[in-house]
Amino acid sequence: MEETTITRIEELKDIANEVRFRIVDMVYRAQSGHCGGSLSAADIVTALYFEIMKINPAAPDWPDRDRFILSKGHACPVQYAALSLKGYFPLDELGTFRKLHSRLQGHPVAGKLPGIEVTTGSLGIGFCEGIGLGLDAKLRKQDWRVWIVLGDGELNEGAVWEAAQAGSKFHLDNVTAIVDRNRLQNDGFCDDIMPIEPVVEKFRVFGWETYEIDGHNMSEIVRTLHVARQVKGKPTCIVARTVKGKGVSFMENVRDWHGKAPNSEQYEQAVRELRGGRT
């Protein structure tokens, strides 16, 4: 298994913090979008794009690239931020988020922006598409991998569990799903809306090699993603315990920030917390 140095882990933490700033900045400028679930996934998405995935921003359609799917498509600010910081498109284009004719729509749209593999939005669909891509790679005897980020509220969708069965049946050891377990969805706490526990045990009995981690501990995230690449004969699920709105104190664990834009005062506070006043 590959080792990631302490220095590199610190670099990844800094990148994740910049991703968080870009998320809040995008949503503030658009006065529309989803901060909470984007912020909770920032460490996971940063680890994937900047340390784990086999990708090339200069050749976004490289046939041997890994495929990333943000199944919880409403959290697209986190993916847009990562893509721009990685070099897929200019940083200043983030300012067009949710604008008319922008390539950065309110959910990822395949064909509009380099690095977007599939269109997602309707919850559960991205996970199903990821299973299909994993099967496609197996049938074509390709060695690229599929990495899927799901929301925990998304696990209410029956299609997720149908796809999970297929992943196990076809031994898709080239597929890793990461559940962003921030405990909140649009209407409240997941366990109040529709209890989903025991999540880890559910994926295990569906035939997935499953791990549970702290989704904000960069060392643990990177280490577990490396482990997932070594699993043979079955797909992998990582249940990442996270905090909705992570990094912005007044957004953390507050349902209202699922899909809400900050006002100017809130934006300024968020900038101070994330960037120490830097702009």
SS3 184: strand
Query: Nearest-5° angle of CA 215, CA 216, CA 217?
Result: 100
| Cα–Cα dist 184/191, whole Å | 8
SS3 214: strand
DSSP assigned state of 96: G
In this prediction, residue 3 carries a pLDDT of 72
Q: For residue 148, what are the β-bridge partners? A: 69, 177
Q: For residue 212, what are the β-bridge partners? A: 239
In this prediction, residue 191 carries a pLDDT of 93
Phi, psi of 134 (to 5 degrees): -60, -40
Over the chain (279 residues), what is each successive 10-residue block's mean pLDDT? 84 98 98 98 98 98 98 98 98 97 97 96 97 98 98 97 98 98 94 96 98 98 98 98 98 95 98 76
* Under 8 Å between Cβ of 30 and 98: yes
In this prediction, residue 4 carries a pLDDT of 82
Phi, psi of 48 (to 5 degrees): -65, -50
In this prediction, residue 56 carries a pLDDT of 98
Q: What H or E segment, with its residue span, contains residue 148?
A: strand 146-151
Q: Where are the domains of the chain?
A: 6-275
| Cα–Cα dist 55/60, whole Å | 7
Residue indicated by tokens 């809040």: 24
CATH 3.40.50.970 is held by the domain 6-275: yes
Q: What is the pTM of this model?
A: 0.96
| Cα–Cα dist 167/171, whole Å | 6
Return the closest-CA partner of residue 155 out of 188, 183, 187.
183
In this prediction, residue 1 carries a pLDDT of 56
